[in-house]
Structure 1
């Protein structure tokens, strides 16, 4: 049986703001607009043509808002309350069953000047108005109810103000507030947070709101932009819990449900921001991505660290824009910097590119300490406006300077804490030993007399920015004032002097108790997050510490001299004579060195925004090493066939080993751990055989050294880090 009935309807008369191919029509609120059947299916009987049912629905076809029975035409008007961004669907049917429609309708949207018709504060969802009535307490939930015109389907911002002497103070801003069926029903659950925003708490505080659509404040019928005047709050706390607000549907469902989906042909359907390795979808009309706008934080410099941002608009089409004199077809995006207009940007292929920078050089030269702590730095705000008939979105890019601060301290002693030697050393070692001992003794005298020692300091506060191409440094003069503050090490110095008096003087030895070399620094800066909330730029604090050694000693014995002394005094005299008279041609060394050090080093990086991303490690290690060295170095001159020449050679063998024990203290995303370390360095023998022969200007060298030989392989105890987290 051939299909009969209404095939197509059309706009037939009245005032419109926008029309185009009968796809979407914007009509004045509460004005009658005529629609009629434009085309029937062939063979439709006249009886059907005289009995048409007209239905005005929500665009999902779930709810019927208006229903008319008549002939082939109808007059429609949309109430001001239901006018705004919300879209309706008008359809017609000539069937006895009104649900049997061929889905060939027209999209309609009502327009009128946005207005706040009435405002109320309530303690329950459908309760009485308490505006200027009984006070609530901080921590109580409160409901804001607004009746509107021309705002149906819009997303609003509600600003909360506290009445004060002089200028009133903005306390809080609630974003993404929905106007559903011409009403705002916002459940506010953070009234306790208001209390901390008030400068001088009074027994009763008065609050009111302002409502913004985009950048414009919405007024009431008296041309005032102050609404819900006043909510009274007494200086009592009922609850300290803070929760985000909730958008609620009207208690009475009304005649039209709100649709997030829109049908204008001039459109985009999603927004994605990309910057280096960060990608974030900030809006999409398709679930599950919510239509939430975020501030996107960026760290940038000036000439050397300009950040390139790409904003992609999915399914971007403006060629069918129906608004007269619209800028949509020109594919431009408006930009402001700190509320000052910037040159328009062109949207090409659904993308717009921004180049953002933080220009701080002039300001930092005047007052660098205004940038000393990242959370206190006010960002430069770039706002990008993306307009189409279907959606208008504003993206805020908060640009922070890439300034990095570092406070660095270094301290070194010019002499060892203590040096002790035996007169049994050969004369070639005595001179060096006496110099070290004199330096240590002078240092000890300074410690006793003035409480300080010969030492060197470096202390600096540095700031670098624009990819570290620009810098400034402060505080070097402070170094001179620190010498007398390190009393702890003076006491160690005096203690060490007592230790060295206990050393025996019988063997040829030298004992050095090493002075500490300490370096510490703390750096802080803002950096973009690639984990967690990638729209944020976190404050990073870096701590570094090194002491090499913090405590250390070295004990060295001349085995040749010691052996000679203990075997026979006569042999000792012979060895001494040989060393003295053969030094021109031969150097011999056979020594045993035992050393022990405690070393501390580490670095920790703390993410202030998200502490769980903190990472780093500090190691405290005790190291004992043993070195056995046999070394001979020979040199001489000769004449062969009337040609004078020179020859020299080196032969040595060294065996080394060591034991390390200590702990690593660190943090990662699992928590804080204390991990033991136990390692054996093995025994490695190194043999060196080198020589050279020189005839006049010609020189020949040779190296017959074999590869190092591992006598005992290194070994270590492996500990499972999962067993050493202190928070597990």
Structure 2
């Protein structure tokens, strides 16, 4: 029996918590606590009791006794001597058994993810033998466990309860201070500027936090604007566990919690702290600037609160040439947001009645819907409850699922034989809404059917309507009366987790919206030389013309020419409008929701356009419209030339598809899909300048041009020389609703110049034998343009802007056409002056680096 040594608390004091089944003791704070060895306590119960002593009589006293009294005294003495002899023999045996505990070895060591008995060694600070008081160091306050065990010299440590005892101390959690050092543990002064790309160490000194996980956020301190939160390789913070570290040079004689631990038979000084290697990421330049003042913000994962009451420690980071470069090109070259801790704080982790995973099984599993891990045992703090989303059709299409407890073992349940024995049941059903059906529960696996209840308030008796479907336009946001969940409880001595299975609708939405105007709006500035093409003054007053018929014809087609020289668009805009909104659900059923609304919206927009045109007429707005008139006429005044402009209205279209989706890794719901916004075009138009008319304004020389024009006109000839600048810009924005779906912005268009020289002459010849009546036209034009393109994209390196420009070359086209009464002859030829060159300009620049 003495070979088995069981450590137990001598007495559970006020503020302490003791679990006898796991032999776990939790202290309120560090300090001494009393222990006992169960075998010794049991042995003490067998300690022989010394016989009650008798009064020894002197010879004189004995001689005075009667014969009967003497006989009784002799019997008592004889029996007493017999009892003393027996007592001495038992006491000798008791002492021999107690002495066997003099060879006890003791271990008092830290507990990590597991206790390996083969690695447990004797703590040399503990003398061999029996101990009744142990001191728990303040260094280990916070919840991290220590293991206390004793074993005989010829025996080996067991490394498990009930032989040893788990001991923890809570303490008061706080952050003592923070400090920045280089990789050689030299403190970085707060006024020193460190270069981007350097690698430093952030030291966070703690108290009462040993074994706990914390979030460490990095922020850039700004004076006049909110502090910038810095990304840690795409994450919001570091996750680290508070440990004990050997004292470094920067720790000596500074504020913090330290103490001595015996490791490998040698005492070593340690400090309770966190050390984080931080790469000063160049990507922070884009998000926070070139000069940063970084400080840590620390949050307890256990309590969910941020620590206060400690002084900020700043690190100056700069792109300045004078900044110091520390440990450039570190390995690894990126920050590590998450490092899983190995200090054990949960004594239940060592309970043998347990499961190690909870899995949601899809029956049958498909490529689109796979089995998912709900919970998996690790050394991180895990939630007590889990929400598990599933996507389902309505109650006419139930789907099969199962919840399974992996590696379930309940043989050593603490409730053995009781009503809550985990061997009887490990999955409790707390609530079963109408859209769930339980089909089997064998304790390890629970099978159920699930559907989404599209009409919870009417028990699925009413017909589906478009109005009802609009309630699920954003399917991740459920109505309060539809947040019914199948509520379960997964039970074991080691873990007890709540599980809520929440059904989301399988609806898929599609939107197609288009709005625009058919046809361009055309304006002509008519600040033209109004010399007539004939001498009929009456016709001139009734019908003022530009000097060339081509420009005037464009003006006429656009509307009319007013006395202010601004041409008005034609009455009666032609509206282009489309709105389609479809919902697909229940594995393929469709419903159109927007048709009746689209017609009403279109009629309303057409009414607004009619009202606007009526107001234009009533208020004569075409004569005082300062928008186009000021812009176009202003150009005409500058050039003293006629300007013909064509502007297309922007055409907008919005398209999108979205549905609810689930992140397999985290069991979170999100909206998956894309929305595209297109302006095709956003801007489109052309501006033409009449060069001959412009020359006519030149003093003296212009008069000669006018005379030539009149002479050509009289001879039936016409000459035009036009310079046209044209352009178009299209924009397309594609936005991914999913976090990592990637969004893109694309711009493209064309900008060009066209120079046109044209003329025509009429031929009328009457002879005695024959007559000729026809027209000869000649036109030559040169055209060139560039097509710029720009886009915003994403890849593994980050977000970038990519731009390029294609040069379309320079071409000259010549066309000569001869027309007669009954036939037409045309000659056309093209001359290439400069060849087309794609990617004439090309570049790519990252605006956000990963």
* Fold match (TM-score > 0.5): no
TM-score where L is the length of structure 2:
0.39
Q: Which has the larger radius of gyration?
A: 2
TM-score where L is the length of structure 1:
0.45
